[in-house]
A and B are shown apart, each in its own frame.
Chain A
Amino acid sequence: EVQLVQSGAEVKKPGDSLKISCKGSGYSFTTYRIGWVRQMPGKGLEWMGIIYPDDSGTRYNPSFQGLVTISVDKSISTAYLQWSSLKASDTAMYYCARRVDLWNTYDYWGQGTLVTVSS
């Protein structure tokens, strides 16, 4: 069974750093890209970027370029999303999802990680 399991909810202060994770199982992790999607409270979905686990190649949404870093450790089938200095506006639910290359569609999603940034 394909699963993407994300790390638990986080409560941080502005200026803190953070790295959240997404662990894939039940499939060949290096074969499928992993994307990250943000959902701010009460709002829609925003595509942040994507990584190819086999070579760690990344593509970012220009709106998020330089604000977050997407990485991967293929030895443990885990992708990461990290911030070096959080802002209150980073408060959101973050989802990882597996992308199928044929139509670039996202067929399996993690359960989401809620990040709350508050002083």
Chain B
Amino acid sequence: DIQMTQSPSSLSASVGDRVTITCRASQSISSYLNWYQQKPGKAPELLIYAASILQSGVPSRFSGSASETDFTLTISRLQPEDFATYYCQQSYSTPQTFGGGTKVEIK
């Protein structure tokens, strides 16, 4: 199985901050990397797919990038509605494993 190592597991930030979350794959996954946002009591929602393509309707303050097996989710200016848990997922091969999640909390 491909392991996805996500960091940090949690972070505290203020509204307006720039936030970066990283995810490392244990082997090459090309650009088959997705990012999801999950708010408490809700289902995950797709933010970014193919490492850097923004899902329709997702604000442009979210962006994704890739460098070999390292992937990054950036929120350029954190908004109150962005406080949530974020997960990466590789969709290169089954089982389509998720990272452990990053909880973004209010500082």
Q: Flag if B91 contacts A104 (CB, 8 Å).
A: yes
- Majority secondary structure, B binding face: loop
- Tell me the count of chain B residues lying within 8 A, CB to CB, of chain A: 26
Q: Flag if A104 contacts B32 (CB, 8 Å).
A: yes
Taken residue by residue from 8 to 41, chain B's Cβ proximity to chain A (1 for < 8 Å, 0 otherwise) reads as 0000000000000000000000011010101000
Q: Please list the residues of chain A having a beta carbon within 8 angstroms of any beta carbon in chain B.
A: 35, 37, 44-47, 49-50, 59, 61-63, 95, 97, 100, 103-107, 109-112
Q: Flag if B49 contacts A103 (CB, 8 Å).
A: yes
Q: Flag if B49 contacts A105 (CB, 8 Å).
A: yes
CB distance from B44 to the nearest CB of A (A): 6
- Majority secondary structure, A binding face: strand
Q: Please list the residues of chain B having a beta carbon within 8 angstroms of any beta carbon in chain A.
A: 1, 31-32, 34, 36, 38, 43-46, 49-50, 53, 55, 87, 89, 91-92, 94-101
Q: Flag if A47 contacts B98 (CB, 8 Å).
A: yes
